[in-house]
A and B are shown apart, each in its own frame.
Chain A
Amino acid sequence: MNAPVPNAEAREIALAGMGASRLRKEDARFIQGKGNYVDDMKMPGMLHMDIVRSPIAHGRIVKINKEAALAMPGVHAVLTAEDLKPLKLHWMPTLAGDVAAVLADEKVHFQMQEVAIVIADDRYIAADAIEAVEVEYEELPVVMDPYEALQPGAPVIREDLAGKTEGAHGAREHHNHIFTWDAGNKAAADAAFDNAEVTVSQHMYYPRVHPCPLETCGCVASFDPIKGDLTTYITSQAPHVVRTVVSMLSGIPESKVRIVSPDIGGGFGNKVGIYPGYVCAIVASIVLGRPVKWVEDRMENISSTAFARDYHMDGELAATADGKITGLRVNVVADHGAFDACADPTKFPAGMFHIVSGSYDIPAAHASVKGVYTNKTPGGVAYRCSFRVTEAVYLIERMVDVLAQKLNIDKAEIRRRNFIQKEQFPYTSAFGFEYDSGDYPTALEKVLDAVDYKGLRAEQAAKRADPNSPTLMGIGLVTFTEVVGAGPSKICDILGVGMFDSCEIRIHPTGSAIARMGTITQGQGHQTTYAQIIATELGIESEVIQVEEGDTSTAPYGLGTYGSRSTPVAGAAIALAARKIHAKAKKIAAHMLEVNEADLDWEVDRFKVKGDDSKFKTMADVAWQAYHQPPEGMEPGLEAVHYYDPPNFTFPFGIYLAVVDIDRGTGETKIRRFYALDDCGTRINPMIIDGQIHGGLTEGFAVAMGQQMPYDAQGNLLGNTLMDYFLPTMVETPHWETDHTVTPSPHHPIGAKGVAESPHVGSIPTFTSAIVDAFSHLGVTHLDMPHNALRTWKALKANGVNL
């Protein structure tokens, strides 16, 4: 007896396509210790590199003595800027139109700056040898405060820019000034303030933090002097861009440069940029003709690779007496450290900070950001964020709370009154963003119901009335809109490279498939979700679809993974590549079934003749035919490549609510409840989405409640180990509740918007909102992060709260 033919529903389940919480394909290797990270790479004859770093923040290099180090057995070379000069590699371009020293050239600009490299037989000898390199410095005055950096007599940080009055983004007003970037309409915003019934303003500081993935940065560079080609294994979120830059810098043709991002132990933006260590390892390999490995330690990672944030912000809102916002003005001083090495699209020196009008229908707005050099580590990465969205969302959400407080309107109510309404989409903000879709009011009501918002407010009122209550209760609410899916090349590029992404799909004759991508996963589960998109589009089971990324010699050119762009950009490339294959397959099926294409219906995994379920060809049947007996005149094979340049960004959103209890005696905060509703459009793998949200919320919790990178006045970073820098453990991490609505993006082929940065962007202001809310009855409108117990305790004392 024949087995019963599975019906469409059963076949759909077998596909494990979009919408299925499919377990991750990549896990098998990780849970058996078979991951393949950069530090796991070994090559015959491989040497190890270590870096001599500056102990001071600002000084002139008087002398470097390599002799003692070179004399040590097992040391192969000691290189300084002088050695890199003939190769013209002692400076490199940054992602932000500036240049950065690869090895300090006559002068050091920040503590832990790279001064010299040592290459030795093993990492122990290299570590010994860097101690033996003698560097003599003449100290220079240090500038750590960006406001002081702009004073007329401030020390000159960048002598190499002396006399340059034009920067990459317009005129420079001062020797420590990088750019001033304006967005929006200043005259309109000023007019809104002139005519306002109410105005509020607030200064806030978004501290410098570090993404701190668990794996540090590193690479293994291998130059083959005979063939003249260079292979580099590297912890990079954007391997293709690295290849382009390496080729441009080294002069080696791009076709002879192979960059491989193997498994990456978390990126979070930290692994987007090109760091001096990478360049040095590559140079060392070229000079020595042997593979060279460099893997930084945790102190180096925290203190010398790109930080995030460091925004000093002033926000102002103009409004009517009943809380309708009529104008927004923002002024920011951004501390970019010693070199402007921010990761930003070329045309946006302050990233996409102009998403600062948030989820609100604000008619007039203006934002201005001033970038400033200081003697701090350079960088400024989009830490789990699309460029500067995190700072923008923080500012607008804080300002809306401040306004609500001034007008004595509930913070949920003031948001309701200002939301962009569903029927206004596509909506163009005062900054010119065209928001694709959204439904904020529905999502807000869902959250307020889920947590019994009214009940919480009643409980809070009762606690406030009770003089013996041991805690202050606070409720935080944030309703954010994100901008992800960078980006349309008409407005977004990095170093002139358009921010498209790509996918190449090949269906094999027996009906399995391989997809190669321009992106690279750092834990987002691409191998699983990408296969699900193909499964749904082409009717091939996810299980037999292989996804490959990260090797520039096999993958099509793409801009990589950061800013939640993989699903909105590469996900679209996948769908469109699959659709090209689908179209060809349909022709072949029609030929096989001897009907017109118009007579065919598509059902899950097959083309069938309209009205006759027994006449069909599965995608596997078609694949075989495509290779072995294609219709006459048709090219054999079944494959396609698609480069997707998005027409617009996507705009996921979310509504987050937190309830906190602050101990009146100690200032310790307990996160009693955190409820996160996200709308990222079409959901491909709900299990993975939830996982991404948990991770982002936990990183947001760390930023809001404990992280900072404090420096003393001499430029010493006070705390660059995990002993000092707060990464939450399981004990302090709250329990997360997640929820969702689904508002697909109308312009995206599958309606997906991207999710992983939302929980980070959205949660940070939610914590602040909750903490401040606990103090709001005392007239407090804002408290700066991090909200650790000491700082909160000080706030209690300052506001007369005693036990």
Chain B
Amino acid sequence: MSKKLITVTINGKKEERAVEPRTLLVHFLREDLNLTGAHIGCETSHCGACTVDVDGESVKACTHLAVQCDGSEVLTVEGLADKGVLHAVQEGFYKEHGLQCGFCTPGMLMRAYRFLQENSNPTEDEIRHGMSGNLCRCTGYQNIIKSVQYAAKKLQEPVTA
């Protein structure tokens, strides 16, 4: 199958690659770029394990084509920490025991990251709805909700110099 050249900025770094038009974004990330953080749990947009951020929106990379990202900015879990400092959502999941097997976690983190920009001070109910596109089989969600609450609180703290 003939390939198409695409340019995508991934975690702040420009990548130029030739991909088959049918290549899914999640395979492009995992196989071509070795970014294995985004996982594949269902291939049908139901589990959210493959969630990444494309141009400021949560996207399920298992049903999104790599060529659709030509010219886009993509953020994956590997780009979430800033110079080794964990993002508030990462810290939240760690502190509140928001993960067990860790398979859903990259998708959860990427969704939580975007969700908190859509709603910086959510109620528990809003978190439940805002994160409901991401399934977890291990944690029973309660601690994931706490993790998101932790991050929301942390992100609202005034930045100290």
Contacts and interface: CB of A to CB of B under 8 A. Distances in A.
Nearest to A215: B103
Judged by DSSP, the binding face of A is loop
Interface residues of A, number: 58
B132 A731 contact: yes
Contacts of B139: 691, 694-695, 698
B142 A694 contact: yes
Given A214-B136, A694-B141, A722-B46, A23 B94 contact: yes
Interface stretch (B63-71, B75-83, B152-160): B75-83
Contacts of B38: 33
Contacts of A298: 41-44
A39 B102 contact: no
A30 B95 contact: no
Given A215-B39, A731-B129, A723 B138 contact: no
A265 B77 contact: no
A690 B44 CA distance: 31
A266 interface: yes
A299 B35 CA distance: 25
Contact of B40 (A31, A39, A694, A695): A39
A305 to B, nearest CB: 14
Given A297-B43, A727-B135, A30 B140 contact: no
B97 A687 contact: yes
Contacts of B94: 23-24, 27-28, 31
A730 B36 contact: no
A730 B127 contact: yes
Interface string A691-716: 11111111100000000000000000
Contacts of B78: 32-33
Contacts of A699: 137
A719 interface: no
Interface string B27-55: 10011001111111111101101000000
A723 B27 CA distance: 22
B109 A31 contact: yes
Contacts of A42: 34
Contacts of B105: 30-31, 35
Interface residues of B, number: 58
Contacts of A690: 97
A629 interface: no
A213 B139 CA distance: 12
Interface string A18-62: 000001101111111111010110100000000000000000000
Interface string A194-205: 000000000000
Contact of B137 (A40, A124, A213, A736): A213
Interface in A264-304: 264-266, 268, 295, 297-298
A266 B76 contact: no
Contact of B39 (A264, A265, A694, A698): A265
A733 interface: yes
Given A32-B90, A297-B43, A721-B46, A523 B100 contact: yes
What are the 6 closest A-B residue pairs judged by CB atoms, nearest first? A33-B37, A265-B103, A694-B140, A30-B102, A523-B101, A523-B100
Given A42-B34, A730-B134, A730-B141, 13 more contacts: A27-B94, A31-B77, A32-B80, A33-B38, A123-B27, A212-B137, A298-B43, A694-B142, A698-B141, A722-B42, A730-B132, A730-B144, A730-B145
